[in-house]
Amino acid sequence: MTTTSEKETKVDTQGIDITDSAQEYLSELLEKQNVEGIAVRIFITQPGTPYAETCLAYCRPGEEEPTDVLLELEKINVFLDKNSLAFLEEAVVDFNADRMGGQLTIKAPNAKMPKVNADSPLEDRVNYVLYSEINPGLAAHGGEIKLVELTEEQYAILAFGGGCQGCAAVDLTLKDGVEKTLMERIPELAGIRDVTDHTDTTNAYYR
């Protein structure tokens, strides 16, 4: 039977479960840092893509982002990156003690799932289009495209990999396919730029 307090706890923790054993372990680690007010920060790099990684780091006072969500747990305080919240749903942080000391594990089953809307950061929306619409078509040629960065001028810097690197048809793919699709889906983009070294034709599909 689920009590009212359990329901409230689930809402308060934003869908992420940090077990008692994990809190205990992290509390001991934080204590050893000898920094008053030190907390833990959890975030996901490249969320919603196959390259997503869930990260946990020390967070000294002032190192948190203004938009972070604070979880005040029984033993520790945890800051959650706002852009990572949707991808941290159903995540579990646990600690399993063993004879070697034990291991802290973070399982985030939704980290690699594209979850975006009109309010999502531009980077997340570009990645969503790349991985849901563009890369599936390139996969037939063993190729893929990754977002390297977004410039201040809102240009998407892309890198081609696999069968797309060094491909003779890359200009056609870039202009008629990738750029057209991205610009249609995300009007805020100023354009795209390719930083791939296409002189390396080792894995190219068309040479």
Which pLDDT band holds residue 86 (cuts at 50, 70, 90)?
confident
Predicted confidence at residue 3, as pLDDT, reads 42
**Helix, strand and coil in the chain, % to nearest 5:** 30, 25, 45
Pick the most confident of 2-6, 98-102, 138-142: 98-102
Q: E strands, the chain, where?
A: 17-18, 39-45, 53-59, 69-72, 77-80, 92-96, 103-107, 143-150, 155-162, 191-194
Distance, in Å, from the CA atom of 61 to the CA atom of 198, rounded to the nearest integer, reads 45
Predicted confidence at residue 108, as pLDDT, reads 94
